[in-house]
Amino acid sequence: MKRWTVYALLAVSLLVVPVTRAGPKQPTTPQSRLLDVWLDLNLLDIFYPETTPATFMRNLKKVARQLNQSLHRVKFGESPRDTLRAPAGTVVIKRHPPKETFILYTRSRTQVWELLDSPARPMRIFRVVVRK
């Protein structure tokens, strides 16, 4: 099954699920932040394929609102070190990833995490060692 077909099926299944009023929010972890932004980026690609740098954040907010989730702070960068320049909890999106690949970084107070989703292998989330 092609990758975009899987994402389209995921998007359709999310739209069919009735939205209920959320109870108390679960605390976000670095891994959950990465997965939230990863899902938002995939849905952005499906529903707003004409997105430009000028409309990126506006469209990303629309997707997050449709999923009834809060939008995490997003920055762009090139390496895991870029997470150290942003406040903890910010998700850094790699500016120039290989084609059809998502690379996202975030950090807790002391640890940097990376999400790597490429056609060559299954999606992985792992801890990255970053020296100041």
Tens of pLDDT, residue by residue over 22-70, are: 444 666 899 999 999 999 999 999 999 999 999 999 999 999 999 888 8
Predicted structure pTM score: 0.77
What pLDDT, on a 0 to 100 scale, did the predictor assign at position 22? 46
- Write b or e for each residue in 36-70: b if 16 or more Cβ atoms lie within 10 A of its Cβ, otherwise e: bbbbbbbbbeeebeebeeeebeebbebbbeebebe
Please choose, from the candidates 102, 103, 104, 108, the residue with its C-alpha nearest in 3D space to the C-alpha of residue 84.
108
Q: Which two tokens stand for residue 16?
A: 């069919």
Answer whether 102's CB lies under 8 Å from 121's CB. no
Contacts of 64 (CB under 8 A, 6+ apart): 36, 40, 70, 71
What pLDDT, on a 0 to 100 scale, did the predictor assign at position 16? 43
Answer whether 109's CB lies under 8 Å from 121's CB. no
pLDDT tens per residue, range 79-127: 999 999 999 899 999 999 988 899 999 998 889 999 999 999 899 999 9
Answer whether 34's CB lies under 8 Å from 125's CB. yes
d(CA 56, CA 59) in angstroms, rounded, equals 5
